[in-house]
Amino acid sequence: MSLATEAPKDSFRLSMLVFDTRYRSYTIQVSVLILLLLFLGWITDNTIANLSQRGKDIDFGFLWQRAGYDIDQQLIPYTNDSTHGRATIIGLLNTLLIAIIGCVLATVVGIVAGVLRLSKNWLVARIMTVYVEVFRNIPLVLWIILIFVVFTETMPQPKDFKITEDMVAAGEEPKASMLFGVIAITNRGSNLPGPLLDRPLPTYEIATVPVNLSVLAFLAVLAGSIYANLRLLRHARAVQEETGIRPTTWWKTLLILVLPSVLLLAAMGFHLEYPAIKGFNFTGGLIINHSFTALLIALVLYTGAFIAEIVRGGIQAISRGQSEAAFALGLRPGRTMNLVILPQALRVIIPPLISQYLNLTKNTSLGIAVSYLDLRGTLGGITMNQTGREMECMLLMMGIYLVISLIISSIMNAYNNAVKLRER
């Protein structure tokens, strides 16, 4: 009686890298990688050689030179005596600020517009259709300039808010008044109430970047509150799955999210500083330039139009049977959309939504059209023109935008994996 034995394994030979399908793919990939690295090395060497012939070299020492220009909007202290590196950080923070706020607001606008486009109300659906078609078919830079011109040309001057003694004696009112008595929008900018702390935590400087412990403490408390609320909602969901009755959590959520932050701000002596007209302009509070406002509004409305179509497509990708089943269970249309349709539509919505977030972040560079000094306006604008270091500035900008985009993609992909449907 003969027994079947395993076939003898062939010893490895170099020819197997080409003729054996088990190894051929690795051979091709390694070969392509080597050729790509050689090509990049040749491009780099050729670039350096050409720059040397023109008396130039790649040197980033200019980042430590005096900048010599002012930046109106700044999240950390900066003067024209600061370095170009500091100006680059200011521009980067301005880019991140408008990108984060823009992504959040554009998502809200896009979801609302996308849902309303599917409304059975003919007028509402047509209004949303007009909004989507108008904004996504006109270049973004034109919207930025148009909104900026509207603010700078139609808003009153600061002197129009001033009340003189002669006007009081004559019983005359100023030409313009503040919104709600605390917000002044002029042709120079918007003046809003600004936060102040009587007992702030100290600020330390790390690598020329100030680190405000008050802000870090507030963010830490807020993050802890959000985490605690998630634990509360997870517990409520577990109780509901076990008993069929969901505990009331809205007042607990309100306390968890609001009370710790309010107590911290009260301990630090939080209060608001209101803008007031003095001389020829407003002082005090927060001053927001119209370049920031115009860029933000244009980015939100423009990107929101694209997100609306993404949301509409994601909702329409869900079978009507899902809605009919929810209605049969007694769910109202609003609850059906929030609990049944949108959670399933996320798997269709999120991948193209990532692209829109990336586009919005990169489109912030168009703020240069209205003199908004973000990364493009500082490093890729004034700094590059003053120092003549075009190659270095372009490489830095490309690298920074690439890192930001990869971070956004990683976060959204992680969220996509967390909410996608689990199949057996």
Domain assignment present for 318: yes
Query: What are the C-alpha distances in Å from 89 to residues 92, 96, 100, 203, 358?
Result: 5, 10, 16, 18, 20
Tokens of 83: 């370095």
267 against 13, higher pLDDT:
267
Domain assignment present for 126: yes
- What average pLDDT score do residues 252-271 get? 91
Provide CB contacts within 8 A for 390, sequence distance 6+: 384
The rounded distance, in Å, linking the Cα atoms of 312 and 310 is 5
Whether this model's pTM surpasses 0.85: no
Looking at the fold, whether 331 and 414 belong to one and the same domain comes out as yes
Beta-strand pair 276-278/281-283:
antiparallel
Domain assignment present for 179: no
Segment of 35-44, 141-150, 195-204 carrying the highest mean pLDDT = 141-150
First to last CA, the chain: 45
The rounded distance, in Å, linking the Cα atoms of 179 and 275 is 12
Q: Domain containing 222: what range?
A: 205-270
Candidates 305, 304, 361, 363; CA nearest to 144 is: 363
Convert the pLDDT of each residue in 336-353 to its tens digit.
Answer: 877 788 788 888 888 899
Looking at the fold, whether 296 and 411 belong to one and the same domain comes out as yes
Looking at the fold, whether 78 and 141 belong to one and the same domain comes out as yes
Provide CB contacts within 8 A for 51, sequence distance 6+: 57, 58, 391
Domain assignment present for 313: yes
Lookup result for tokens 């088990």:
22
Domain assignment present for 156: no
Q: Which of 270, 301, 321 is the last residue of a domain?
A: 270
Provide CB contacts within 8 A for 36, sequence distance 6+: none
Q: Could you tell me the CATH number of the domain that includes residue 302?
A: 1.10.3720.10
Looking at the fold, whether 328 and 397 belong to one and the same domain comes out as yes
Distance of CA 328 to the CA centre of its chain: 40
Per the structure, how many domains does the chain have? 2
Domain assignment present for 39: no
Q: Which of 214, 237, 270 is the last residue of a domain?
A: 270
401 against 18, higher pLDDT:
401
Domain assignment present for 127: yes
Banded model confidence at residue 273, pLDDT cuts 50, 70, 90: confident
Convert the pLDDT of each residue in 220-234 to its tens digit.
Answer: 999 999 999 999 988
Reduced to 3 states (helix: H, G, I; strand: E, B; else coil), residue 78 is: coil
The rounded distance, in Å, linking the Cα atoms of 380 and 393 is 6
Convert the pLDDT of each residue in 280-316 to its tens digit.
Answer: 788 888 888 899 999 999 999 999 999 999 999 888 8
Looking at the fold, whether 410 and 298 belong to one and the same domain comes out as yes
